[in-house]
Each structure stands twice: as C-alpha cells, then as structure tokens.
Amino acid sequence: MTDRFERRKVTRGRLVDAALKLFSTSGYEHATVDDIAQEAGYSKGAYYFHFSTKDDILLELLRMWTEGRSAVLAAEAESGSPRATLQAFFSYEEEPAWKAVLLEFWAQATRNMEVGKRLSQAYAGWRKQLADVFAAAAARGELRAESPQDAASVALAAHDGFAVQIAIGSPGARPMTAAELAESLVAPLETAAASAERRAAAR
C-alpha cells in the first residue's frame, strides 16, 4: 500500500512539473493534456487518474505558487525588515519557471472564476501581511507610512510589474534586481534617523 501511494505521489509530482514547464514555455492555452502526459513520461490515462481536467492542474500550480509565496513572506516578515521581506517576496531566482506561469495565472483569472477567486484571496492575505510589516516599521520610527495598506498595495503592484519584467525582459533597459526594487520602494519612506543609522552600520 505504501509503495503504491509513493508511486502515485511520484506520478502526480511529475505531471505537475511537466505542466509547469509547458505552461511556462508554450502557454496554458497551447499545452494539451496529451502534451503534459507525454512530457511527464506517462499515458493520458495516468493524467486523468490524478486530474479531471486541464484546469485542475492549473489550479494545483496556482495553489503551489500562492502557498510558496505566502511561506516566503511569512518567514521574512518575522525579521521585521521591510527591505528583506520585499526582496524575498519579489525574488524568483530559485524558482525561475514560475515567472512566465504568473502571466498565465493572471490571464486565466479573467476567464476562470475559480482562478480569479483564489488569486484574490491570496493577494488579500499578502496585502495584510505586508501592511503589518510596514505598520510595525512605522511604529518603530523607521518608516513614514501614513497608510501601511496603501504601501502594501504599491508593493504588490511592483511585484506584478517585476514579474512581467523578468518574464518578457526589459527592452532598452537593464532589468532591476529584487533587491534594487525593494530598495526603491523602502528608501523614500525611510526616516532620516533610520537612514543615518543604516549608513553608519554599513561602514
């Protein structure tokens, strides 16, 4: 029983990995169930044992991405540093395949109510987490944030723009790094005292 469970788990994982690869290269609309099964090294029947439709595997990828971003955000938020939190949240260096799939999620959100609902729920949670980080930094006197919620919304918009940039490139310009983007958002909000303290610590 255990061996059978493990084999099914491996099969499902390979199908998900194949879908991630194909959605990031061919796009969701062009990749078929046959393509996913073939890429994973299985039959179409094996695919339908684990997923009822192509939408189902898209939703599984969406779950993995949103939970992964939430985990990154929660882990870094404990540090209390807005810079570190934003840099980690913006970065996809260790998960490069996701960058193009994000475009697929957003495109499908306009056509698939379940995708849209899950994205909205994820973004609402991230907005609250980021607002809490900004509010805590403001309470410590490190940032001037009259509306932590607005600062969080701007950060999420920057994340989305950055995801597009790394997915399609930056024609005519050098692409920003996650660290540079985080700095560009935090530095204008930083208090003079916090800025001086940070520069002194860097010496």
Both 43 and 84 in a single domain?
no
Statement to judge: residues 119 and 156 lie in one domain: yes
Residue 48's CATH number: 1.10.10.60
Q: What does the pLDDT look like over 141-177, one tens digit per residue?
A: 999 988 999 999 999 999 999 988 888 877 667 778 9
pLDDT attached to residue 134? 95
The boundaries of the domain holding residue 91 are 55-202
Predicted TM-score (pTM) above 0.75: yes
Report, as an integer, the average pLDDT of 27-37.
Answer: 95
Q: Where residue 1 falls among pLDDT bands split at 50, 70, 90?
A: low
163's CB contacts (< 8 A; 6+ apart) are 92, 99, 102, 103
Mean pLDDT lowest among 5-14, 89-98, 182-191 = 89-98
100 shares its domain with 153: yes
Residues 88 and 157 both lie in one domain: yes
State whether 97 and 34 are in the same domain: no
Domain count, the chain: 2
Query: 102 and 83, same structural domain?
Result: yes
Same domain? For 5 and 70 the reply is: no
What's the rounded mean pLDDT across residues 52-64? 96
pLDDT at residue 187, as a whole number: 94
Same domain? For 147 and 110 the reply is: yes
* Residue where a domain terminates, one of 52, 69, 95: 52
